[in-house]
Structure 1
Amino acid sequence: MRLLKLGIASALALSAMTSLASAADPIKVGVSLYGLKAEFMQLWAAAVQESPAVKNGKVEVTVFDGRYDPLVQQEQFATMISQKYQAIIFAPIDADAGATAVKMAHDANIPVVGTNTRANTDLLSSYVGSDDTLSGYMEAKAVLDKIGCKGNVVVIQGPIGISAQIQRSEGNDKALAECPDVKVLETKTANWSRAEAQALMENWLTRYPGQIAGVIGQNDEMALGAIEAIKSQGLNVSDFAIAGIDGITDALLSVKSGEMTSILQDARAQAMGSLDVAAKLADPSYEPQSDVWTQYPDMPFADGKSANYNVPWTPVTAENVDSLLAFRNK
């Protein structure tokens, strides 16, 4: 009888130890980003790894490179589901195909937090990102104001079908509608690529010599590619009004030198905010760890229950560019 009691006591002690260990296990969060070739998503991926919750061991995060392929991202979701991730953060390359991946996770009872780009679905548990329609309007207006609402412009789009391209185009169109005397000579995608945008702009400069007054690039990489094309043809960059979006490092330097306009998209706030929301969805006892909620008081954490967290845009100006560069170089 005494041996039986000892056995029961040992089993109970082992069970208690297992429960304690389980309670101390980190929350397992997976991240599927549409692609890691360009700097913005590299900044996003680095920021999520620097989250206080990851640093202190409360959350274990794995970042997957979607390689700009919706099928790759769906395969990543299948992997995260089979490996029993507790929450997923998702920036889809394709808004429609992304909905399929979200449904896979939803059917497996895994919450999905969208970030940066959107999937066409109402099954997301939450979204942490910025208003791309607003940024498209802001960048186009900057170009149009500089050319006095007269002349010809070209528009370099992001990958067709990604939500940022769709919404930034809507914002571009809204600003262009306010300037009926402006003609759009060409609108084509360069897939967020600096090299593709350079080739595209070189072609346009040859096709429309002396006719292009403004360049609306739907991200900074493509705006910078247009600048390289202008320089390669021996033209003066100051003769063009050029704008991009994201506030990547080279764009900040280009704004500082007076070559372009940029609007900073806060990759750090999107990444750390997404992680806090995802962890709260996975474990209701989790409390937010990052400082983004005090950085942006108009974006309260709200116990992780908001359907949409709107990270504000920051126009890059001559007055704030040095401080933005200093923060980037920390």
Structure 2
Amino acid sequence: MKKLLLTLAMGTSLLASPVMAQEKLKIGATVYGLNAEFMQIWTSALQQHPAVKAGEVEVTIFDGRYDALVQQEQFNTMITQKYDAILIVPMDVEAAAAPVQAAVDAGIPVVGSNARVNSEVLTAYVGSNDVEAGELEAKAVLDKMGCKGNVVILEGPIGQSGQIQRLEGNQKALAACPDVKVLEQQTGNWSRAEAQTLMENWLTSHPGQINGVIGQNDEMALGAIEAIKAANLKVEDFAIAGVDGVTDAINAVKEGQMASILQDANAQAQGALDIAIKAVKKDYEPQSEIWKQYPQMEWKDGTGKDYLVPWTPVTTENADKLLEARSKL
């Protein structure tokens, strides 16, 4: 992913050719943070959108730096500079509501993607069902454990919709396994490093007692794997799962170290941009191929409220194909 690291930074403009510059739409995208691979893939997908490559749209990426207040200031900037539309991947489900309202009050449509905002004024939301993801990943862990033993849960940032909804799914799966005990449950803030530190502490506090690790994203699951290796324990002795299908997780699935579910960042980002353009240009027809890729996610003339991209379980059978598709981003 070195290419992404070089091309994506706070405020980076994703510019196409200057053809018809006077008619080019100006769309901003504020994302909760760009440190990890998933959001780098999401932002790269905007750069690859046909409307951006054709010079019809100029997209500016704002790095929210994992801070809801930073995202609020970025909204203020986009409102002041009269952007045509705004995309948001929010850090906090509640805190993002006020800046979204301010943009809509200023006549700027806002489309949510990947993480939800508690707001009724969003033009639409393009993401995936996080409750379903939480249940699927927890079930993968519990099935390997035979519905017996002890687990730990690595949560996302408290207050982000992914953390809230995936935990709901985790708990739904756990309710079906009453003999499983949750020994620890704490936020790792989507961070591999933070999760590694937590897991190291838990392995010390509960020696020989942890059987499963539910990581609400792949980065944290991978951090737990690093902690297990550092403790000279066998990764295969643990049931571990994450969510997102980042590159390292796909490789870890190939090696039998964990389970993962692919969250299609490309479809979420390009779908959100198509919706945003439609909100500004009423005669616009979607240009991204993702609508053909996921026919069950109907376009609805761009007027729908919820567009849910399906999850794809990562398996040893499809891992190489997924990695090949990733290499083209």
Give me the TM-score of the superposition, normalised by structure 2: 0.93
Q: Is residue 2:177 matched to residue 1:170?
A: no
Q: Is residue 2:189 matched to residue 1:194?
A: no
1:247-262 mapped onto 2 (5 Å cutoff): 247-262=245-260
* 1:138 match: 136
The amino acid of 2:97's aligned partner reads: A
The secondary structure found in structure 1 opposite 2:183 is: strand
The secondary structure found in structure 2 opposite 1:230 is: helix
Alpha-carbon distance in structure 1 between the residues aligned to 2:305 and 2:61:
23
1:283: Cα distance to partner?
Answer: 1.0
The secondary structure found in structure 2 opposite 1:327 is: helix
Alpha-carbon distance in structure 1 between the residues aligned to 2:102 and 2:55:
28
* 1:52 match: 50
1:260: Cα distance to partner?
Answer: 0.3
Structure 1, 276-285 or 222-231: larger mean CA deviation: 276-285
Contact 1:155 1:216 in 2 (8 A): yes
Alpha-carbon distance in structure 2 between the residues aligned to 1:130 and 1:105:
24
The amino acid of 1:47's aligned partner reads: A
The amino acid of 1:248's aligned partner reads: V
The amino acid of 1:211's aligned partner reads: Q
Contact 2:155 2:186 in 1 (8 A): yes
Indicate how the Cα distance of structure 1 residues 307 and 297 shifts in structure 2: closer, same or farther if over 3 A, else same: same
Unaligned stretches of 5+ residues in structure 1: 1-20
1:59: Cα distance to partner?
Answer: 1.2
Contact 2:30 2:61 in 1 (8 A): yes
* 2:206 match: 208
Q: Name which of 299, 303, 306 aligns with 1:305.
A: 303
* 2:267 match: 269
1:24: Cα distance to partner?
Answer: 5.8
Alpha-carbon distance in structure 2 between the residues aligned to 1:256 and 1:24:
49
CA displacement, residues 143-200 of structure 1 (integer Å, 9 cap, x when unaligned): 0000000000000000000010000000000000000000000000010000000000
Indicate how the Cα distance of structure 1 residues 23 and 33 shifts in structure 2: closer, same or farther if over 3 A, else same: closer
Alpha-carbon distance in structure 1 between the residues aligned to 2:251 and 2:311:
18
The amino acid of 1:135's aligned partner reads: A
* 2:93 match: 95
Alpha-carbon distance in structure 1 between the residues aligned to 2:25 and 2:84:
7
Indicate how the Cα distance of structure 1 residues 82 and 308 shifts in structure 2: closer, same or farther if over 3 A, else same: same
Contact 1:92 1:117 in 2 (8 A): yes
The amino acid of 2:73's aligned partner reads: E
Contact 1:26 1:59 in 2 (8 A): yes
1:57: Cα distance to partner?
Answer: 1.1
The secondary structure found in structure 2 opposite 1:183 is: strand
Alpha-carbon distance in structure 1 between the residues aligned to 2:134 and 2:280:
34
Alpha-carbon distance in structure 1 between the residues aligned to 2:176 and 2:185:
18
The alignment yields a C-alpha RMSD, in angstroms, of 1.1
* 2:294 match: 296
Unaligned stretches of 5+ residues in structure 2: 1-18
Structure 1 segments (4+ residues) deviating >3 Å: 21-24
1:22: Cα distance to partner?
Answer: 8.3
Alpha-carbon distance in structure 2 between the residues aligned to 1:68 and 1:197:
16
The secondary structure found in structure 2 opposite 1:96 is: coil
Contact 1:113 1:277 in 2 (8 A): yes
The secondary structure found in structure 2 opposite 1:290 is: coil
Contact 1:277 1:304 in 2 (8 A): yes
Alpha-carbon distance in structure 2 between the residues aligned to 1:214 and 1:311:
28
CA displacement, residues 28-82 of structure 1 (integer Å, 9 cap, x when unaligned): 1110101101110010011111111100011111111011111111111111111
1:287: Cα distance to partner?
Answer: 1.5
Contact 1:126 1:308 in 2 (8 A): yes
1:117: Cα distance to partner?
Answer: 0.5
* 2:16 match: none
Q: Is residue 2:65 matched to residue 1:67?
A: yes
1:105-254 mapped onto 2 (5 Å cutoff): 105-254=103-252
Alpha-carbon distance in structure 1 between the residues aligned to 2:250 and 2:140:
16
1:23: Cα distance to partner?
Answer: 9.6
The amino acid of 1:75's aligned partner reads: E
Contact 2:32 2:91 in 1 (8 A): yes
Alpha-carbon distance in structure 1 between the residues aligned to 2:56 and 2:128:
26
| Aligned residues with identical type, % of pairs | 65
Give me the TM-score of the superposition, normalised by structure 1: 0.92
